[in-house]
Amino acid sequence: MAAWRADKDGLTVAIRVTPRSSRDAVLPPQEDWLPVKLRAPPVDGEANAALIRFLAKSLKLSRSEVELISGETARLKRVRLKGDPEQLAQALRQLIG
């Protein structure tokens, strides 16, 4: 799947965030990114913090295993998920549905 790339230490995921949504949710992949809706507003890093919390909780990771590596002020972001890449990819597929 083009929305994420695996290496020996985890996954790098391309995410497009839609803040101020009615619910927190991950939608099916689009082109080269994974759409994520968040209730949090894009103010003072609230949406970034909400994204990290949401992914950590949904994928059963600690917050320290989810790292925003680019796109801090943009809708398109790259997030690093630390752990077994096969297990993380499977967990993402299950989260997508």
Q: What's the pTM?
A: 0.94
Domain count, the chain: 1
Burial of 48 from C-beta contacts in 10 A (0-12 / 13-18 / 19+): buried
* Domain span including residue 74: 4-96
- CA 5-29-13 angle, to 5 degrees, is 30
**Which CATH number does the domain housing residue 8 bear?**
3.30.1200.10
pLDDT in tens, 41-56: 999 999 999 999 999 9
For the cut 70, the answer to whether the pLDDT of residue 67 exceeds it is yes
